[in-house]
Amino acid sequence: MDFCFDNGVFKEVSNSPPTPKTASCSTPHENAHPALSEMLTNCVHCGFCLAVCPTYQMTGDENNSPRGRLRLWREEAEGRLAPDPFTAHYTTECVGCLACEPACPANVPYGEILEQVRHQHVDAARTRPPLSLRFAAALSKRQWLFNLAMFPARILRSLGILPHKFLFAGSPPLMESTAGYAQRLMAEHRPTGPRVALLTGCLMESVFREINFATVRVLIENNVQVVVPPDQGCCGAFQEHLGLDGIDQLRDQNRAAFGKASVDAVVCNSSGCGLALSKTLTDQVPVRDVLGFLGELKLAQRTPSEKDALVYVDLPCHLIHGQKQQGIPANVLNATGYRWELAPQARDCCGSGGIYNIQKPENSQEILRGKSEFLNHATGSPVILATSNHVCMMQWNSARSAGLVTRPYQVKHVIQLLDPGDKGLRRGGTRAVS
């Protein structure tokens, strides 16, 4: 948005991309994207972002804050700072939670700037993501390959064997794909309401497939038609978080896959992937968080068997800061039938950051320590920590093995709390008409 001040009045100039304000006295760094240097000048240095930044709160180091990072990037981009290893360091320290975006009064597009800078740094070999993550990112480009590689994880989980701190409990189907399952249920139940396409996601489909199945069931129970475009792929979040090449291919793939489906919306059950996909399909079809979408319907009500359970709801950063949603709709949480309340500091980051907990395990655990402390004293039997993002669930799960939480608790996706189960699914009866 460009404005000019004309005769005492501000007027919008045009909708075209802003022209770079390169003045004669500055010497932009060679690699600086013109739009990037433009975006960097938005920051008025007010410091409001410091209050919400997890790494600033943890370290007290100005450089480890959005304002600090923007300053370093701008100093380098405008030639006043020679490329410095610490700039790369502080860039990798950023969790990418985007809490700074809503806090910023000047609307600095921090997320977009971060994505570009990460990419620049990797390109220029200033940062080298760990081999394991680069490998995972490479695998994620081909869904069938990713599924194959993660098959053992699925088996172990289905057997109740959880050898890794990030593997939370659940029973993923082993053979049937979500696409196949959705097709089967659609034929069986023939819903007549709004029509959505589901992003199955690389990690969700390959490791935590039970959440995809639950999503399909909940949608169909509420009379929503569900299609799962078979040629979809990873949303590209891996590449984006790590600054790797290859995002464009993945985006093209998904544009092709979802563009073909004639649907009212594309729904996602993980906020990070939803954010990434929404940037891909901007002008094509609305991308919605599945819980936000369900919140607009009259929902089937559950009656859980665990009467004393208490659900603590944590809000994923990429839902509230990235997608700029208020939160998880109260009517959706009420429909679960559980007693629920927001977890303390529900709007603060859990430290997952997508792959941050693998890249920066100490930071990640430190952030989780503060957030998870309350579970040690929480009431409820069982105590259930519920959220709507699989990587956040992984992070919450790790609190146990890290010794941060020393009493039993469950980690669930909110959609699982709405799930009627394969046998329980039926149309009519308590189902609300949409």
Q: What residue ranges bind other proteins (CB under 8 A)?
A: 1, 3, 5, 8-12, 21, 23-26, 41-48, 50-52, 60-63, 68, 71-72, 75, 78-82, 84-87, 90, 103-107
Question: Least distance from C-beta 9 to other proteins, angstroms?
Answer: 5
Q: How far is the CB of 190 from other proteins (least distance, A)?
A: 42
Q: Which residue has the tokens 């075209």?
A: 16
78 versus 210: smaller Cβ distance to other proteins: 78
User: Which residue lies nearer to other proteins by CB, 2 or 308?
Assistant: 2
Kindly state the smallest distance separating residue 28's Cβ from other proteins, in Å: 11
Residue with Cβ nearer other proteins (45 or 423): 45
Distance CA 228, CA 396 (A): 29
Residue 91 CA to residue 129 CA, distance in Å, equals 12
Element (H, E) at 4: strand 3-6
Looking at the Cβ atoms of 8 and 163, the one nearer to other proteins is: 8
Task: Tell me if residue 360 falls in helix, strand or coil.
Answer: coil
Q: How far is the CB of 37 from other proteins (least distance, A)?
A: 11
Pairwise CA distance, residues 25 & 23, whole Å = 6
Q: List Cβ neighbours of 144 (8 Å cut-off, separation of 6 or more).
A: none
Give the whole-angstrom CA distance, residue 144 versus residue 150. 10
With 0-12 CB in 10 A as exposed, 13-18 as middle and 19+ as buried, what is 36? buried
For the CB of residue 121, give the shortest distance to other proteins in the complex, in Å: 13
Residue 392 CB, nearest approach to other proteins (Å):
24
- CB of residue 116 to other proteins, shortest distance in Å: 18
Nearer to other proteins, 52 or 244 (CB): 52
In the complex, least distance from residue 76 CB atom to other proteins, rounded to whole angstroms: 8
Contact by Cβ (8 Å): 209, 172: yes
Q: Which residues contact 362 (CB under 8 A, 6 or more apart)?
A: none
Helix (H) or strand (E) holding 401, with range, is helix 390-401
Helices 131-140 and 143-158 pack at an angle, to 10 degrees, of 110
Q: Which is nearer to other proteins, 11 or 164 (CB)?
A: 11
User: In whole angstroms, what is the distance from residue 222 CA to residue 106 CA?
Assistant: 41
Q: Which CB atom, from 75 or from 306, has the smaller least distance to other proteins?
A: 75
CA distances from 28 to 23, 37, 73, 101, 237 (A): 10, 8, 11, 25, 29
| Residue 46 vs 161, nearer CB to other proteins | 46
Residue type, 40: L
